[in-house]
Amino acid sequence: MQSWIPLVPESASTFSWQVDALYFYLSGVTLFFALLISAVLIFFVIRYRRRTPYEIPRPIAGSHKLETIWTIIPFLIAMTMFAWGARVYFTQYKTPADAVEVYVVGKQWMWKLQHATGQREINQLHVPVGRKIKLIMTSEDVIHDFFVPAFRTKADVVPGKYTTLWFEATTPGTYHLFCAEYCGMNHSGMIGSVIVMEPREFDNWLGGNTGTTTPAAAGQQLFQTLGCASCHGANGEGGRGPTLAGVFGSETTLQTGEKVRVDEAYVRESILNPQAKIVAGFGPIMPTFQGQISEDQLVQLVAFIKSLPAGGQTQTPSASPAAPKK
């Protein structure tokens, strides 16, 4: 599946053609001016060469008209690049709300992935064609970078925080996955593949990997064993910490009066550094879990809290934790 220009990797996501179009535009403009300037340069060298040994050129006082023109035209061209680039950027980095979530943990030197339905993969990611996929990514050690050239997208995977990436694959096939950030000795070996399948094939693949615990269910277990439930009761009991039912995705007010959105990053921070952003009405009594739980476990806790429905009924996140149950 090579493209007709062998220099360009195959194109297999909904926005890859936009990146290509912009890239060709940038290359085209650059090439045009490089040729124009070179041609004019050569022409002037010949046309205005010194013809007699003591020839003195006619003095030039300058021209406002000319200067205005050669300021405004490049400015307009630069602005087209800016506006176009911004549009492509926002398409790529604003994740659609209806995307299916996959958790990614990078470590020296492998990619660990887990689907919301529990299936785990290493250095391989199976996805269905025509469905939006959102990757929630973090690293166990150093900075890595999740890069799929065929989808024209990449994002840094940074220790201590979550970054996200989304794509919708358009063509079934197997595509390269690279680490695009030098991360130590075996950086070049930190590779894998994204396998894009027809939806039915994908469902079969998912079905063939049963018996796995979903991240949300594993998170619920952890929530019990770590003793979180004694303060953050699912039904609002406990009382020493805010109830977590239905808070994910909402806005909460802090002691300082500030408002924050409860997203992956906030939940993560509150587990590792509970004193950073305390919810209004509660004291700074939660211990930190820094160093006590792994990135995988953090992801599971986040998935569990995400799966809690509003209202605080007893929750059993088993099959599809991504969709809050009513």
Q: What is the CA radius of gyration of the chain?
A: 27
Tell me: does residue 179 bind ligand CUA (CB under 6 A): yes
| Peptide bond connecting 166 to the previous residue in cis, omega within 30 degrees of 0 | no
Asked whether the beta carbons of 197 and 277 are under 8 A apart, the reply is: no
Q: CA 240 to CA 285: how far, in whole Å?
A: 8
Does position 122 interact with ligand CUA (CB under 6 A)? The reply is no
Nearer to ligand CUA, 101 or 181 (CB): 181
Nearest to 163 by CA among 183, 148, 177, 144: 144
Size of the site for ligand CUA (CB under 6 A): 9
Residue 144 binds to ligand CUA (criterion: CB under 6 A): yes
User: In the stretch 184-213, what mask flags binding to ligand CUA with x, by CB under 6 A?
Assistant: ---x--x-----------------------
Give per-residue burial for 200-237: e unless 16+ CB within 10 Å, then b. eebeeebeeeeeeebbbbbbbebbeebebbebbbbeee
Is there binding between residue 33 and ligand CUA (CB under 6 A)?
no
Nearest to 95 by CA among 45, 148, 162, 9: 162
Q: Which CB sits closer to ligand CUA, 109 or 202? A: 109
State the nearest-atom distance from the C-beta of 186 to ligand CUA, in Å.
8
Selected binder of ligand CUA within 104, 136, 183, 216 (CB under 6 A): 183
CB contact at 8 A, 164 and 232? no
Q: Is 305 in the site for ligand CUA (CB under 6 A)?
A: no
Q: What residues form DSSP beta bridges with 155? A: 146
Three-state secondary structure call for residue 112: strand
Under rule CB under 6 A, residue 136 binds ligand CUA: no
Residue closer to ligand CUA, measured from CB, 168 or 181: 181
Residues 6+ apart with CB under 8 A from 305: 219, 244, 247, 248, 267
Task: Give the shortest CB-151-to-ligand CUA separation in angstroms.
Answer: 18
- Single residue of 116, 149, 162, 181 touching ligand CUA by CB under 6 A: 181
Nearer to ligand CUA, 180 or 218 (CB): 180
Binding site for ligand CUA (CB under 6 A): 106, 109, 144, 179, 181-183, 187, 190
